[in-house]
Amino acid sequence: MRSWISQQGRALRGTIWKLLRAPFATLFNVVVLGIALALPAVLYVGLVNLQKAAQAASPEPQLTIFLALEASRADVQQIEARLTAHKAIAKTRHVPREQALEDMKRASGMATVAEALGQNPLPDAFVVDPRDVSPAALERLRAELAALPKVAHVQLDTEWAQRLDAVLKLGRLALLLLATLLAFALVAITFNTIRLQILTQRDEIEVATLIGATPAFIRRPFLYYGALLGLFGGLAAAGLVWLARHVLNGALADLSYLYGARWQLDYLTRVDTVSLLIFAAALGWMGAGLSVARHLAEARPR
């Protein structure tokens, strides 16, 4: 085990020294990889901020529960207790039938109509704020509340939620496609970079093979080379995303001032940043592995 760790350490130190000996080539490769990774990262940040902005600008979906006209005060209190204890409900507001009638009287042009009715035709109602605002969860909650005793009707408007969900699904699909294409591009870039490294060290590899070097020994420094390139590319992508966010926030500050609001783009979270770095390093490792495997297959005696 100690010998294996020592071999890994030597390979890693040799790879870092190799990167430092060619700073311009390393910087060029890192910038190219960073740009390739920054594109889906920027789209992801934009998608997350769009979702937050849409949820902030749009009213939260609410369910209105209309009770039957014959519901007694005891029925109203029982339903209110069940709604308050429901885990899927964030907040409940009771609208008594008397208050609903007064609101109707205050509405423009409705006072005369309300007076002509004679008796109050409006039922008691509850306005419910759900915790989960996804269309599927709202429909499940609506069906559950409609089955409660003394409930005549549950009104739910999910049109805006369905539209928002459709837009976000489209954005996530576009993000997935772009990330997949650029992942292939990153693997191809790393593949060609490692291929050039192998060609420049062909004589060393042949000599090492003749004196008994194993494929794992030959493969190891190139795998570290690809992983480090990917890791540095991920760091460059994170820096580019931060720079883009900083520039856009400056422009948004002037625009939001004109509208009397405060708009600001959020940056990648720590989890997102770590995931980006791991993903970039893994792609670099994969590209290097494919390149070395192809070389070893071509160099194998037939």
> CA-to-CA distance for 218 and 222, rounded, in angstroms?
8
Q: Please name the residues in contact with 275: beta carbons below 8 A apart, sequence gap of 6 or more.
A: none
User: Each residue of 49-61: pLDDT tens digit?
Assistant: 777 766 655 566 7
Long-range contact set of residues 100-107: C-beta below 8 Å, sequence gap at least 24: 100/125
pLDDT band at 111 (very low <50, low <70, confident <90, very high): low
How does DSSP classify residue 61?
Answer: P
> Structural domain boundaries of the chain?
2-57+163-299, 63-156
Query: What's the pTM?
Result: 0.59
Please tell me what DSSP assigns to residue 265. -
Chain position carrying tokens 């093979």: 209
Q: Residues 131-157, buried b or exposed e (16+ Cβ, 10 A)?
A: eebebeebeebbeebeeeebbeebebe
Q: What is the mean pLDDT of residues 28-52?
A: 82
Q: Which residues pair with 89 in a beta bridge?
A: 130
**pLDDT band at residue 298 using 50, 70 and 90 as cut-offs:** low
| pLDDT reported for residue 300 | 58
| Neighbouring C-beta atoms of residue 92, cutoff 10 Å | 19
pLDDT band at 302 (very low <50, low <70, confident <90, very high): very low
Residue 154 backbone zone (phi > 0: left; psi -120 to 50: alpha; other: beta): beta
What is the three-state SS of 33-55? HHHHHHHHHHHHHHHHHHHHHHH
Q: How far apart are CA 61 and CA 302, in angstroms?
A: 69
Instruction: Give me the mean pLDDT over the 262-289 stretch.
Output: 84
Residue 16, pLDDT above cutoff 50? yes
Are the CB atoms for 222 and 197 separated by under 8 Å? yes
Closest CA to 191 of 297, 301, 295: 295
For residue 114, pLDDT over 60 is answered with: no
Partners of 94 in the beta sheet? 126
Return the percentage of the chain with pLDDT > 70, whole number.
Answer: 71
Q: Tokens 């625009």: give the residue.
A: 255
Digit-coded pLDDT (tens) for 186-236? 888 888 877 777 777 666 666 666 676 666 677 777 888 888 888 888 899
Topology of the domain comprising 63-156: Alpha-Beta Plaits (3.30.70)
Cα separation, 191 vs 296, in Å, equals 14
- Amino acid found at 225: Y
- Whether 87 shows a pLDDT value over 80: the answer reads yes
